[in-house]
Structure 1
């Protein structure tokens, strides 16, 4: 009986369950069965996946505290996601669970939903799509709740999430309108009120209504149940008050964040402290209090993850107190924390670069600016600003390096033999010490090679290389392998100090000779030569021609540095030193007069009137016919139009170039290059000369001239322009093969009259007559021009013919009277082939082709 009862009971229970599974019956048991299955199975698992996805988003998101924080921590990516793909598998799982709940548990009977959990399912569906950044499908889910479940207890949440989605779609005005209506119509409380007002604050921020955003954040901060959110909202309030310039109100908001202490993420509290320090009044406030607070933040062990920001702010504090050395120390400390905040690193590097720039240490400033750019987004506005700074330093770094290297070489050249030997013996002593240290490290590494265990033991037993467990042990736990790694580092990089930019070659062995030169000499030396002073002495230039070349290069670098410091940076003291050093170095004659004139102008700028008078008298007495003497005696020429100034002469010469007076342009350019040697205008004359040479002599001559400019004036704008021409333009012009003239391909023909050794008047008369004849030709709109081909050949060209047959029978278009006027022979060429003829000066080759 008992067995049969159990069987019967099981059958009844199964029948009951099967009956309750139906989604078509509106009965109590059916409704509650599907509601419970929805809530505690599919939706439960869906919300777990959603929370995991949100946690992943929060962990991956990096707040930019240099700008106002967004209300919601969510990074929107611009990546295109194909249908069926997802940016986060957790959100895909959450969406699948929501869809499963809707498909398997929806009870839509007579147009009404009987499962009270379906609104929750659609809310989960919308949230999953929202966080997966599929905002249009998300909006559809939230709108469906508003349309289908107007009496739902989740209706306010759905409205808030709909407006969050609208904001992500840049519909800020619509979101503001709907949220204000929601707040007016509904008595929202608690988290619903916090969510609505916080997202309304974000919409106000997006529309630049900062005051309104602060008001809404105040409401959200008081209403939210989450201390994490409260800390974030208060912090954003402080940022907004700072943006408006209300520092006292900002500090009050930051104090509220600090009061939360461990109730909110520590990053908010630390950054609130630092923001208050940024608002510190260095003139009236208590500096001792501020320094003690910063010291406390630095020493607190809990703040170790935030030391990059703390060190930076301490550096800012010392910089504002004019304690530059302490500021530099803390900026470097901040950099050594290996911060993940790229903007913080860029800021540290930029400040250090600016400090070096202000101290006129331009080479180091350039290195810091290089590091700054490496931490910024390529081609962003901050990147372009730093790049302009760095480009301005390009020339000074280049010429300073030349001056330093050549000064070192010339110093060794001028040393007596005994002092040379003593110098290199000291240098060799340093090498021997380093070699000995390297040898000891290498021997230690060789004795213990292959050991990668902790204290060389596993479970108390010695372990040799090849032990199966060795791969599981950490490299840095073994002092032997660490020593070996250090030895290998020294072999590759040399003995480098622990400092920023350690990879720069200038951080290696320091001596009177440049590091790159030293490294090259050491690399080519045998073991015996490396420790022989005579080997190094033999590398010192001895030929007069080579020494003279080094001296000239050094002097030119001095001259350029003087100009750069004077004209670009207004560093008159540095400029004066460079020009004076140049004049003391027995410079070439061409550099003496411009150097003295620049010194005269520098003395005037520094108000050193006695020196200025001496320089003036020397120039006017020794060089009375020079342009500089003329300018000194007639200062009005500087403010007025000086027809003999380099700029005026260049403009006049360029006008001649446009008039195709190429021979004259080349000749005068050479004269001006010699006359103004050393001045910034010279590369312009060189480029104009190269262009005129190319137009007159062709591709090969142009290529040679451009290459010369690219090498000789590499650091000028003209030199860079020449480099671009050499790299990108010349290869396109190199082809000299003529194109077959076919009417289906060529639709532009030229009729060319060739004149050799003709007078300009003759050419002008012919062109004038030709223009009169062209006006009489019907059906064609033709015009003429004059082109120089070579020093003794000029073309007069007819343009406007689109058909090859018509072009070749051009004379048949003329009337009998006009034929009498135009009797000169002509040839026909396509525009493409004419361009090749002018570029490569291969007219003879073309004329031997059967084209005419």
Structure 2
């Protein structure tokens, strides 16, 4: 190499080494470190940061049934502990080691920011000479913010604000600092910071519109945490005027409309949602949801017809397939508002069947269907829909007020379904018990013929379906070379058709000698054993299968009657007390009065029917049951209530005296003096009236009887408690014991 060339190379190397120094305030040094920071370390850090933002957006799911978050972040409290990047991170490690580190995108961005600061910072005499370091600190703070480390993030933001007061990112950093304070619960400090930025600094330095938009959004976030709703409205309105960030602007408009709706300012809400729905810059999910919210805030008048037509138009648009669940649901709500119940139910079912769906949306559709069935007094169907709500609701919303209400309502419907099923099943069995032998035979012969015919039709449908498939190739193309042979068994189409015709006549037969014979008794013993399964008669077609299942034991039949009667009584109470359905309450109680031979039931049945008919204004029926109670049971509590409905009953014994007596009898019970305990209760009950402890005495007496008398006497005592005090805990306990006794 010539001497001149060597000098040039040496000079370049010296210049590079000289420019690498962070202690010299020279143009070459400043330029080198600024360029290296921006286009090497920070570039990689910003790319990792953007990747992290994409992951957050994908992870976050907006629930449009609730007020949306102004800042769409789903923070996971379980991952709040992030890796701490200590000084020196990024040194003494090769590129291969960096790639193998198990860091999240935000942690990688933080690592690059730390590396940029520690490698390229040029702090000379207290002044930073590298113009990119403020960017590095901002990236560091934002990365920490998204990893929920808000205090370290504040440190980074404060460093920029204090040390780089004239940096072009100073205003943006102040906004990020305010957001970190909001996340830490320091809303007042955040508001003060943002007011300083918007009121004071804007007057002197004229802040850009994009920065103002971010500041207004942050201010709305702060006031939302303090529940100052009007201030939230004011700043959201300001944040939606510039429209620099179309995603955030659409979100702000949607939240603004939701707030108006919550404040019952329906006109303002419709105006905002209409503007958002017609905005071409807004993302599709906000535009379509704005259409739905517009419909929700439209009154049920002539305007709803136009909105419904708009909903149907959106449904027909194939671009909106991702939103069909919500569109179908809202169309159903509008149809229901116009009293088109059948169309509404159809839309709700379509909403449930939509391909793109979520469980929370399903809870509303199931609830609407359940409410419609409940209003039609189809309680069994309503119960099944409420069950569906409870099955699809997630733990996140399990304790929501609406879900708790549905759970309470469904509890009564579950009991109702149970009792209705008991009445239906026991009535069917008792009906068969009451038939003569000839009537039973005739009934089940007709039933067997019916199921035989149904089975034959199903089998024929299967064969037809098989033949239909076989006629189109049966898995091989009709035009394939396999179908071109002249011999029968070379032609797939003809072979499949022939197989289908054979099975129609003969069914499925094994490949063996004498395949036409159903009875193989003439064959060898081996053949007989081999074909046992083929010759076995279907028990569903045997008369004895059903006749033998009919109970003949008197005790079993008695238990069926008691279960049926108890179910009728419980149904009467549920319809009367819970569902306020007097028609069905009367139906069950009147029927129980007809079929029951137990005199103990007459008093409670008569009293409940007296109350129902009195509320209905049927004085004839009401007086009939009133007279029954007064004439047959004049000393009972029911009779006293009827005689003196407006006068508080006078209790001869004080409640504490009664409680002391109960403790004495209970002590006798615990000392195994059961007969003595029963006698004490009998003697005391003649003077015991209108006390809340009466059911306790009754249950204690039944339990004592069970200790020294036979099972039947014990059950009768329990049945008295279960019927007389059905709505109390003692009555329910007695019923549980009866059920256990019936199982043994």
Corresponding position of 1:75: 74
1:546/1:529 Cα in 2 relative to 1: closer, same or farther (>3 Å)?
same
Map of 1:39 onto structure 2: 38
Aligned to 1:115: 130
1:554 to 564, 571, 574: 564
Question: Which residue, out of 617, 629, 636, partners 1:627?
Answer: 636
Distance 1:48 1:661, change over 3 A: closer
Q: Structure 1 26/83 Cα, relative in aligned 2: closer, same or farther at 3 Å? A: same
Measured in 2, the distance between the counterparts of 1:48 and 1:113 equals 25
C-alpha distance in structure 2 between counterparts of 1:536 and 1:642, whole Å: 59
Q: Distance in 1 between matches of 2:453 and 2:84?
A: 67
CA RMSD of aligned residues (A): 4.0
Shift of 1:8: 4.0
Tell me, which stretches of 5 or more residues in structure 2 are unaligned? 86-101, 483-535, 669-675, 709-713, 738-744
Name the residue aligned to 1:94: 109
Equivalents in 1 of 2:114, 2:51: separation in Å? 18
| Conserved 8 A contact 2:722-2:732 | no
Query: 2:270 is matched with which residue: 251, 264, 269?
Result: 251
**Aligned equivalent of 2:25:** 26
The alignment's TM-score, normalised by the length of structure 2, stands at: 0.76
Q: Matched residues in 2 for 1:345 and 1:684: separation? A: 45
2-structure distance, mates of 1:461, 1:124? 69
CA contact (8 A) 2:666 2:700 kept: no
> How far, CA to CA, are the matches of 1:391 and 1:668 in structure 2?
39
Residue 661 (structure 2) aligns with: 656
Which one of 157, 181, 185 corresponds to residue 142 of structure 1? 157
Query: Whole-Å Cα distance in 1 between the matches of residues 382 and 685 of structure 2?
Result: 33
- The alpha-carbon deviation at position 33 of structure 1 amounts to 0.5
> Aligned partners of 2:550, 2:638: CA distance in 1, in Å?
42
Query: Per-residue CA shift, 1:586-609, capped at 9, x if unaligned?
Result: 442322342233222221111122
Q: Structure 1 pair 655/542, CA: closer, same or farther in 2 (3 Å)?
A: same
Residues 369-384 of structure 1 aligned to structure 2 (within 5 Å):
369-374=386-391, 375-377=393-395, 378-384=398-404
Alignment check: 8 A CA contact 2:322 2:356 kept: no
Equivalent in the alignment of 1:347: 364
Distance in 1 of aligned mates of 2:731 and 2:606? 27
Are the counterparts in 1 of residues 610 and 622 from structure 2 also a CA contact under 8 Å?
yes
Match for residue 621 of structure 2 among 611, 624, 629: 611
- Between the aligned partners of 2:107 and 2:255, the Cα distance in structure 1 is 32
Change (3 A) 1:602 1:651: farther
Distance 1:681 1:60 in 2: 58
Aligned position for 1:589: 599
Aligned residues: 634
Q: Are 1:279 and 2:274 an aligned pair?
A: no
Establish whether residue 269 from structure 1 lines up as the match of residue 287 from structure 2: yes
**Greater mean alpha carbon deviation, residues 365-374 or residues 563-572:** 365-374
Structure 1 residue 226 and structure 2 residue 225: aligned?
A: no
Deviation at residue 567 of structure 1 after TM alignment? 2.3
Segment of structure 1 superposing worse, 343-352 or 555-564:
343-352
Deviates more, 1:602-611 or 1:120-129: 602-611
Give the Cα separation in 2 of the matches to 1:715 and 1:624: 21
Cα 1:38–1:723 shift into 2, 3 Å = farther
* Residue 296 of structure 1, CA deviation: 0.6
Deviation at 1:217, TM superposition (A): 1.5
Secondary structure of the 1:391 match is: helix
Once the two structures are superposed, what CA deviation does each residue of 1:196-253 show, in whole Å capped at 9, x if it has no partner? 0111011111112222222212221122412222221111111111122211111111
Task: Select 1:314's aligned residue among 300, 318, 331.
Answer: 331
Residue 659 of structure 1 deviates from its aligned partner by 4.3
The separation in 1 between residues aligned to 2:660 and 2:463, in whole angstroms, is 70
Q: Return closer, same or farther for 1:687/1:368 CA change in 2, 3 Å cut-off.
A: farther
**Equivalent position to 1:389, from 405, 409, 426:** 409
Match of 1:509 in 2: none
Give the Cα–Cα distance (whole angstroms) in 1 for the partners of residues 368 and 239 of structure 2.
38
Q: Which residue number corresponds to residue 453 of structure 2?
A: 429
Superimposed CA distance per residue, residues 741-776 of structure 1 (whole angstroms, 9 cap, x where no aligned partner): xxxxxxxxxxxxxxxxxxxxxxxxxxxxxxxxxxxx
Which residue matches 2:8? Answer: 9
Please name the residue that 2:383 is paired with.
366
Separation in structure 2 between the aligned mates of residue 587 and residue 62 of structure 1, nearest angstrom: 62
- Counterpart in 2 of 1:566? 576
Pair 1:641-2:649 in alignment: yes
1:304 is matched with 321
Contact 1:712 1:719 in 2 (8 A): yes
Alignment match of 1:576 (pick from 586, 610, 630):
586
Displacement of 1:282 in angstroms is 1.2
Of 214, 230, 234, which aligns to 1:211? 230
What secondary structure is seen at the aligned counterpart in 1 of 2:617?
coil
1:140 CA displacement: 1.0
Segment of structure 1 superposing worse, 103-112 or 360-369: 360-369
Measure how far apart 1:266 and its partner are: 0.7
1:684-709 CA-partner distances (Å, limit 9, x unpaired): 55655589899x99xxxxxx99xx99
Partner of 2:608: 598
Per-residue CA deviations over 1:531-585 (Å, capped at 9, x if unaligned) read: 2244123212234432232122101110111122112322111100001221232
TM-score computed with the length of structure 1 as normaliser: 0.67
The Cα shift of 1:265 comes to: 1.2
Displacement of 1:380 in angstroms is: 4.3
Unaligned runs of 5+ in 1: 463-525, 698-703, 726-852
**Pair 1:672–1:126, CA change in 2 (3 A):** farther
The whole-number CA distance in structure 2 between the counterparts of 1:345 and 1:649 is 55
| Partners of 1:424 and 1:536 within 8 A in 2 | no
Preserved contact between residue 234 and residue 254 of structure 1 (Cα < 8 Å): yes
CA distance in 2: counterparts of 1:638 and 1:126, whole angstroms: 73
Question: For residue 195 of structure 1, what is the aligned residue in structure 2?
Answer: 214
SS at match of 2:538: helix
Structure 1 counterpart SS, 2:595: coil
Q: For residues 693 and 146 of structure 1, what CA distance do their matches in structure 2 show?
A: 85
Contact preservation (8 Å) 2:83, 2:107: no
Q: 1:403 aligns with which of 411, 419, 423?
A: 423
Residue 412 in structure 1 maps to residue 432 in structure 2? yes
Superposition deviation, residue 38 in structure 1: 0.6
Of the candidates 273, 293, 305, which is equivalent to residue 310 of structure 2? Answer: 293
Contact 1:172 1:206 in 2 (8 A): yes
Report the Cα offset of residue 15 of structure 1: 2.1
SS across alignment from 2:374: helix
Q: Once structures 1 and 2 are overlaid, which stretch shifts more, 92-101 or 526-535? A: 526-535
CA contact (8 A) 2:220 2:236 kept: yes
Alpha-carbon distance change, 15 to 88 in structure 1, aligned in 2, over 3 angstroms: closer
CA drift at 1:143: 0.9
CA spacing shift, 1:348–1:145, aligned 2, 3 Å: same
Counterpart in the other structure of 1:837: none
